[in-house]
Amino acid sequence: MRMKKTIRRRRKECKTDYLHRLKLLKSEKPRLVFRKTNTSIIAQYVVSDEAKDKIVIGITSKKLLKFGWPEKMKGSLKSLTASYLTGYLMGKQIQKQKLENPIVDFGMLRVLHKTKLFAFLKGAIDSGLDIACQEEAFPEEERIKGEHLKEDFTKTFDKIKSSIDKE
């Protein structure tokens, strides 16, 4: 008689892929974690010790308001542009603290080319992190800079990027 296999709670809730997590933990490298919420982007630099995760750096896209993101565009802190700038800010923080280059952890998100995931990754790479990725996976430069938005966002984009560099 076969016993019925019980599915773990976090797997059932589509929150954790345990096989993928095990592979990431076996690499013994720090992880750059990317998560999307309904209102913002979350980025974390995570170090694991015996399967216990410790967040060294945690940033949300709401921090972009401090660097000059327009208050009237507060609702678009989960956009492609905000995703890129959050990745850029995270990469600068990692470099500033002289931390080891991480591997990327997208969790249970669907990995589709030219999306917020890859905009975030391009921001991290542009900040100076050494992460391997194919160039054709990244969104177009016009979309990253926000030229497709109702108002042309390129001047604001450049201003925010230079203020991140100054920090």
* pLDDT tens per residue across span 69-128: 999 888 889 999 999 999 999 999 999 999 999 999 998 888 999 999 999 999 999 999
- What SS3 state is found at 43? strand
Single pTM value for the model: 0.91
Instruction: Give the type of residue at 132.
Output: A
Q: Which domains does the chain have, with CATH numbers?
A: 15-166 (3.30.420.100)
| Number of other residues whose CB lies within 10 A of the CB of residue 158 | 11
| pLDDT tens digits, one per residue of 119-153 | 999 999 999 999 999 999 999 999 999 887 777 78
